[in-house]
Amino acid sequence: MGRQEELLEIYERLNSFFGDLHWWPADDPFEVAVGAILTQNTAWANVEKAIQALRQNRLLTPAALFSVPEDELAGIIRPSGYYHLKARRLKAFVRFLVVEYSGDVDIMKVEDLSRLRDKLLGVNGIGPETADSILLYACQKPVFVGDTYTKRILVRHGMIGNDTDYHSIQALFMDHLQPDVSLFSQFHAVIVNTGKAFCRKEPRCSSCPLAILRA
């Protein structure tokens, strides 16, 4: 079985198990970008609390986040953890959005994928996974997000080694699958859910929908 067939079998089994997860949960593309920054090193439940606090304070727009003092912002997003650091990163992203794209995500979305990715990686606090989450879910660009869960699942199924880096994991998907936003979005979503429910540090293989692939 080739790599494409292996990946598609994983996808089909997980997609059948979980169904359409409608991920990323957000009201608009800007909220997606904010969530991608807030979710660094924390559980999504904490991000939801921080997003709700931003919404209650009417700060879920580029103009509002650009204007709010950083210390005030840090206090509002406290539930997300590392809140001073994340406030600084949110402010850096919003400054970037305002300077480069007049504070408009719709304008940012038109930018060429490779060029936009390079620009995002130049923003303080935005690494590959965060940049790719913004590209895929906020900008609807066909780029795969290869997170920790992806690596763990692929390692346990013997498809990659422990030393495989982010770029190589991403390339595995993008080199063997069609560049499709819907596919990449749902594939990443079902992988995340598999990692949370089954492929934990202490795996629950017996009930995992991918268990048959390890037989």
- Determine the Cα–Cα distance for residues 156 and 158; give it in Å rounded to an integer: 5
Domain definitions of the chain by residue range: 3-22+144-214, 29-138
Separation CA 185–CA 171 (nearest Å)? 16
| Cα gap 91→27, rounded to integer Å | 20
Q: Please give the pLDDT value at position 214.
A: 72
Return the percent helix, strand and coil in the chain, to nearest 5: 65, 0, 35
pLDDT per residue, tens digit, the chain (215 aa), is 799 999 999 999 999 999 999 999 899 999 999 999 999 999 999 999 999 999 999 999 999 999 999 999 999 999 999 999 999 999 999 999 999 999 999 999 999 999 999 999 999 999 999 999 999 999 999 999 999 999 999 999 999 999 999 999 999 999 999 999 999 999 999 999 999 999 999 999 999 999 988 75
Statement: the pTM of the whole predicted model exceeds 0.85: yes
Structure tokens at 181: 């936003």
Under 8 Å CB-to-CB from 89, ≥6 apart: which residues? 37, 40, 123, 124, 125, 126
* Whole-number pLDDT of residue 151: 97
CA atoms within 13 A on the CB side of 208: 25
Copy the structure tokens of residue 165: 């880096």
Q: What pLDDT shows up at residue 213?
A: 86
Query: Which fold would CATH assign to domain 3-22+144-214?
Result: Endonuclease Iii, domain 2 (1.10.1670)
Question: Rounded CA gap, 200 and 152, in Å?
Answer: 8
Identify the residue whose tokens are 């895929």: 136
Q: Could you say which architecture CATH assigns to the domain 29-138?
A: Orthogonal Bundle (1.10)
